[in-house]
Amino acid sequence: MKDLVLVNARNRDLTVLGFMDKFVAGEGTYRVITKCKAGFMITSDIETNSAISAFRRFKPKAIQSIAFMLNGGHPITVYARAGKKVWASECFLSEVTVGDINQDLSNTALYCQGQYQAVNAKTWADKAYVKNEEVIAA
C-alpha cells in the first residue's frame, strides 16, 4: 500500500481510520449497507477483491457503509458516510480515484481541489489520496 498524502488535515468532516498493523482489506467478503429510494437500509454481503471494487458496484450516493468481514464474522469498517461527513480507512483512500469522488461525492468531505493538486491528479483516473507520478512527454 502506498503512503497517503492528506493535505486538508484540518477538515473535521473527513476522518481517516487507522489500524494498528497497517490493516489492508483485500480479497474477501464485504458487507455493504445502502439506502434505497424508499429510505430503508439494505445490507448486501458480496465477495470481491478490494474495498474500492465493492464501492464501485453500488451507487455512491446510496452507500452508507462498507465493512470488511474477518474470518470470525467480525466487520471492520473501511468506509462510512453520514451526510457530508466521511470515515475512510487508509486502504480505501489509497485506491479511490478523482472520478469516484467527482461522479457523485462532490458534496462530501472527500472532495477537495487542494488535495487533487497536492497529489498531482490531472484526470479522473488519477488517485485522489496517493501521489501520482508526473508523466513527462518526450
pLDDT along the chain (138 residues), means of 10: 63 80 83 94 95 93 93 90 91 91 89 86 90 72
Q: Give, rounded to a whole angstrom, the gap between the first and last alpha carbons of the chain.
A: 30
Query: Where do we find the cell 482489506?
Result: 25
How far is 16 from 40, CA to CA, in rounded Å?
A: 27
Tell me 134's DSSP state. P
What pLDDT score does 2 carry?
A: 60
pLDDT of 10 reads 64
- Residue 8 has what pLDDT? 58
| pLDDT for res 71 | 84
